[in-house]
Amino acid sequence: MSERNLEEEQPAAPKCTPNYDTSDPLQQEVARILRGFKNDILGITFLGNDGVLRSLTADRKVLSAEGLSPELIEAFLARFPEEYKAKMTDPVFADGTKTPKEKWYEPDPGSLPEPLSQEEIEKVKNQPEERKNILRRRLQEDKNLLDVTGVLA
Protein backbone atom coordinates (compact mmCIF):
# COMPACT_ATOMS: atom_id res chain seq x y z
CA MET A 1 0.00 0.00 0.00
CA SER A 2 1.41 3.41 -0.90
CA GLU A 3 2.17 6.11 1.66
CA ARG A 4 -0.59 8.23 0.20
CA ASN A 5 -3.21 5.50 0.71
CA LEU A 6 -2.13 5.05 4.31
CA GLU A 7 -2.56 8.76 4.95
CA GLU A 8 -6.00 8.73 3.35
CA GLU A 9 -7.10 5.86 5.59
CA GLN A 10 -6.01 7.56 8.81
CA PRO A 11 -8.89 9.19 10.66
CA ALA A 12 -8.60 12.93 11.02
CA ALA A 13 -7.25 14.09 14.35
CA PRO A 14 -10.02 15.44 16.56
CA LYS A 15 -10.16 19.22 16.59
CA CYS A 16 -10.16 21.05 19.87
CA THR A 17 -12.88 23.70 19.89
CA PRO A 18 -12.25 26.59 22.27
CA ASN A 19 -15.01 27.47 24.72
CA TYR A 20 -14.42 31.21 24.19
CA ASP A 21 -14.97 33.62 21.31
CA THR A 22 -11.79 33.50 19.21
CA SER A 23 -12.85 36.66 17.35
CA ASP A 24 -12.90 38.68 20.59
CA PRO A 25 -9.96 41.15 20.53
CA LEU A 26 -9.20 40.42 24.20
CA GLN A 27 -9.01 36.67 23.50
CA GLN A 28 -6.78 37.39 20.51
CA GLU A 29 -4.47 39.40 22.77
CA VAL A 30 -4.35 36.57 25.33
CA ALA A 31 -3.52 34.15 22.50
CA ARG A 32 -0.74 36.47 21.26
CA ILE A 33 0.77 36.63 24.75
CA LEU A 34 0.61 32.85 25.23
CA ARG A 35 2.14 32.19 21.79
CA GLY A 36 5.10 34.39 22.69
CA PHE A 37 5.83 32.59 25.96
CA LYS A 38 8.73 30.18 26.35
CA ASN A 39 7.44 26.96 27.97
CA ASP A 40 9.19 24.18 29.87
CA ILE A 41 7.79 20.75 28.95
CA LEU A 42 7.39 20.09 32.69
CA GLY A 43 6.36 23.64 33.55
CA ILE A 44 3.08 25.46 33.95
CA THR A 45 1.42 28.72 32.96
CA PHE A 46 0.35 30.51 36.14
CA LEU A 47 -1.69 33.65 36.78
CA GLY A 48 -0.56 35.18 40.06
CA ASN A 49 -2.66 37.32 42.37
CA ASP A 50 -0.40 40.20 41.30
CA GLY A 51 -2.07 40.00 37.87
CA VAL A 52 1.04 38.68 36.14
CA LEU A 53 0.74 35.69 33.81
CA ARG A 54 3.92 33.62 34.00
CA SER A 55 5.40 30.60 32.29
CA LEU A 56 7.21 28.64 35.00
CA THR A 57 9.72 25.81 34.86
CA ALA A 58 9.28 22.61 36.86
CA ASP A 59 11.30 24.20 39.68
CA ARG A 60 9.21 27.40 39.30
CA LYS A 61 11.73 29.73 37.73
CA VAL A 62 10.07 32.32 35.48
CA LEU A 63 10.71 31.83 31.75
CA SER A 64 8.23 34.42 30.41
CA ALA A 65 5.88 36.92 32.02
CA GLU A 66 3.32 39.56 31.13
CA GLY A 67 1.31 41.88 33.38
CA LEU A 68 -2.37 41.60 32.45
CA SER A 69 -5.01 44.31 32.65
CA PRO A 70 -8.23 43.39 34.51
CA GLU A 71 -9.93 42.90 31.12
CA LEU A 72 -7.21 40.48 29.95
CA ILE A 73 -7.36 38.62 33.27
CA GLU A 74 -11.10 38.15 32.76
CA ALA A 75 -10.51 36.97 29.17
CA PHE A 76 -7.81 34.51 30.31
CA LEU A 77 -10.05 33.08 33.04
CA ALA A 78 -12.94 32.76 30.55
CA ARG A 79 -10.92 29.98 28.90
CA PHE A 80 -11.40 27.70 31.92
CA PRO A 81 -14.49 25.63 32.77
CA GLU A 82 -16.76 26.96 35.52
CA GLU A 83 -16.05 23.93 37.74
CA TYR A 84 -12.31 24.74 37.61
CA LYS A 85 -12.88 28.42 38.42
CA ALA A 86 -15.14 27.42 41.34
CA LYS A 87 -12.16 25.60 42.92
CA MET A 88 -9.96 28.72 42.89
CA THR A 89 -9.12 29.53 46.50
CA ASP A 90 -8.32 33.24 46.05
CA PRO A 91 -9.75 34.50 42.75
CA VAL A 92 -8.84 38.16 43.36
CA PHE A 93 -6.24 39.56 40.99
CA ALA A 94 -4.46 42.90 40.95
CA ASP A 95 -4.02 44.92 37.76
CA GLY A 96 -0.85 43.27 36.45
CA THR A 97 0.00 46.29 34.33
CA LYS A 98 0.74 48.09 37.62
CA THR A 99 3.02 45.34 38.96
CA PRO A 100 6.65 46.50 38.58
CA LYS A 101 8.40 44.63 35.74
CA GLU A 102 11.21 43.47 38.05
CA LYS A 103 8.52 41.61 40.06
CA TRP A 104 7.39 39.80 36.91
CA TYR A 105 10.56 37.69 36.98
CA GLU A 106 11.35 37.90 40.71
CA PRO A 107 7.94 37.66 42.42
CA ASP A 108 7.54 37.81 46.18
CA PRO A 109 8.44 34.59 48.04
CA GLY A 110 5.47 32.27 48.44
CA SER A 111 3.54 33.79 45.55
CA LEU A 112 4.28 30.93 43.13
CA PRO A 113 3.05 27.34 43.37
CA GLU A 114 5.25 24.60 44.79
CA PRO A 115 7.86 23.10 42.43
CA LEU A 116 7.10 19.87 40.65
CA SER A 117 8.16 16.97 42.85
CA GLN A 118 11.25 14.96 42.00
CA GLU A 119 8.96 11.92 41.83
CA GLU A 120 6.94 13.53 39.00
CA ILE A 121 10.13 14.51 37.16
CA GLU A 122 11.39 10.92 37.44
CA LYS A 123 8.12 9.63 35.97
CA VAL A 124 8.82 11.60 32.80
CA LYS A 125 12.48 10.55 32.74
CA ASN A 126 11.42 6.91 33.02
CA GLN A 127 8.77 7.01 30.29
CA PRO A 128 9.14 4.62 27.36
CA GLU A 129 11.37 5.95 24.57
CA GLU A 130 8.35 6.06 22.25
CA ARG A 131 6.64 8.65 24.48
CA LYS A 132 9.86 10.61 24.94
CA ASN A 133 10.31 10.69 21.15
CA ILE A 134 6.89 12.31 20.82
CA LEU A 135 8.02 15.02 23.23
CA ARG A 136 11.33 15.39 21.37
CA ARG A 137 9.41 15.96 18.12
CA ARG A 138 7.31 18.61 19.82
CA LEU A 139 10.51 20.30 20.99
CA GLN A 140 11.80 20.39 17.42
CA GLU A 141 8.51 21.74 16.05
CA ASP A 142 7.95 24.47 18.66
CA LYS A 143 10.83 26.91 19.19
CA ASN A 144 9.19 28.18 22.40
CA LEU A 145 9.09 24.72 24.01
CA LEU A 146 12.11 23.85 26.17
CA ASP A 147 13.40 20.87 28.16
CA VAL A 148 14.81 22.91 31.04
CA THR A 149 15.23 19.93 33.40
CA GLY A 150 16.82 17.71 30.75
CA VAL A 151 14.34 14.86 31.19
CA LEU A 152 14.62 13.90 27.52
CA ALA A 153 18.42 13.80 27.39
Check: CB of residue 43 under 8 Å from CB of residue 63: yes
- Side by side, the strands of the sheet bearing 62-67 are 44-47, 52-56, 62-67
Rounded to whole angstroms, the Cα distance separating 65 from 63 reads 7
Inside any domain, residue 6: no
At 101-138, the pLDDT tens digits run: 999 999 999 999 999 999 999 999 999 999 999 999 99
Rounded to whole angstroms, the Cα distance separating 68 from 32 reads 12
Q: Which contacts (CB < 8 Å, 24+ apart) does range 42-45 have?
A: 42/116, 42/120, 42/121, 42/124, 42/148, 42/149, 42/151, 43/148, 44/113
Inside any domain, residue 11: no
Inside any domain, residue 152: no
> What's the structural domain count of the chain?
1
Inside any domain, residue 129: yes
Inside any domain, residue 14: no
pTM over the 0.85 mark: no
Inside any domain, residue 9: no
Rounded to whole angstroms, the Cα distance separating 93 from 111 reads 12
Inside any domain, residue 46: yes
pLDDT at 9: 55
At 9-48, the pLDDT tens digits run: 555 656 677 778 888 999 999 999 999 999 999 999 999 9
pLDDT at 7: 47
* Domain extent for 67: 21-106+114-146
Inside any domain, residue 1: no
